[in-house]
């Protein structure tokens, strides 16, 4: 995951949203890959990937863990009020670390084989305990070839960032405010739905529509990638940050 992050200079606030069930009652995912615990095993139809962190491991079917710098924080199982029992995963970042060229990153990563896709749907429950008030912490990233849709939060704002590949091989980063912010300290359901056929995406937070807009780029067929956790890509220092994640599904159609 190679987003640069940051607020993009045009984030002008969201409204406080309410948490919901995090999708624990929705039959919107299962596991053909990942952790097939109590949540994942009950869901039908089965999506491409599901992780509920209920098998005693923080990696829970993800391919790899990205930590930069190495001492930036930690992953731990959390059995204190998970979205679905017995566990969620807690992602934490240590306070006061100086910025690096990679920022401060604690991400679980999953790559999916290149397949023709008309839509990608990511859902997860998140409980944000603390994030830097100015830095904008990344919660999730869906990669679509060289493009990406990212969800960021601060204590009072949330925004989507779209990574748009350029002809020269680089990328530009476009940031758009979300109209709903996850409620601090409460489980909130997040859904990112990308319609590749219509070149369009929506993000819902707590069941409320937070953004609905066309994709800025033409997505070239390629792998789909998922990054989940906390990441800062700008600023010199951060406060201690922590968020819990549970009941993650990603479906590729």
For 27-31, 38-42, 69-73, 189-193, which range has the lowest pLDDT when averaged over its residues?
Answer: 27-31
pLDDT at 62 over 50: yes
CA separation for the pair 139, 90 (Å, rounded): 12
pLDDT at 16 over 50: no
pTM here is 0.85
CA separation for the pair 161, 176 (Å, rounded): 6
Give CA angle at 155 (154, 160), nearest 5°: 35
CA separation for the pair 249, 31 (Å, rounded): 8
For 12-21, 27-36, 38-47, 154-163, which range has the lowest pLDDT when averaged over its residues?
Answer: 12-21
Of the candidates 26, 219, 32, which has an alpha carbon nearest to the alpha carbon of residue 123?
Answer: 26
The residue behind tokens 């758009």 is 176
Q: What is the pLDDT of residue 17?
A: 33
Q: Using pLDDT thresholds of 50, 70 and 90, give the confidence band for residue 139.
A: very high
Q: What is the pLDDT of residue 34?
A: 52
The DSSP symbol for 52 reads: -
Q: Domains (ranges, CATH) in the chain?
A: 15-252 (2.60.120.200)
CA separation for the pair 114, 106 (Å, rounded): 25
CA atoms within 13 A on the CB side of 69: 10
Q: What is the pLDDT of residue 31?
A: 36
């Amino acid at each position: 995951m190679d987003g640069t992050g940051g607020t993009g200079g045009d984030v002008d606030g969201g409204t406080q949203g309410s948490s919901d069930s995090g999708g624990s009652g929705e039959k919107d995912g299962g596991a053909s890959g990942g952790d097939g615990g109590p949540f994942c095993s009950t869901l039908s139809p089965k999506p491409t990937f599901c992780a509920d962190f209920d098998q005693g491991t923080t990696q829970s079917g993800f391919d790899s863990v990205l930590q930069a710098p190495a001492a930036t924080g930690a992953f731990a199982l959390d059995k204190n009020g998970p979205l679905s029992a017995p566990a969620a995963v807690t992602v934490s970042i240590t306070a006061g670390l100086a910025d690096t060229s990679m920022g401060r990153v604690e991400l679980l990563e999953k790559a999916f084989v290149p397949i023709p896709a008309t839509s990608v749907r990511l859902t997860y429950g998140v409980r944000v305990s603390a994030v830097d008030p100015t830095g904008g912490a990344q919660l999730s990233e869906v990669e679509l070839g060289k493009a990406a849709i990212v969800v960021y939060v601060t204590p009072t704002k949330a925004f989507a960032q779209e990574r748009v590949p350029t002809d020269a091989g680089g990328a530009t980063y476009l940031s758009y405010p979300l109209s709903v912010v996850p409620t601090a300290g409460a489980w909130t359901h997040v859904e990112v739905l990308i319609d590749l056929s219509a070149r369009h995406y929506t993000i819902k937070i707590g069941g409320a529509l937070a953004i609905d807009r066309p994709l800025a780029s033409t997505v070239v067929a390629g792998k789909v990638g998922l990054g989940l956790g906390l990441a800062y890509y700008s600023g010199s220092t951060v406060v201690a940050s922590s968020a819990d994640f549970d009941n993650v599904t990603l479906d590729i159609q």
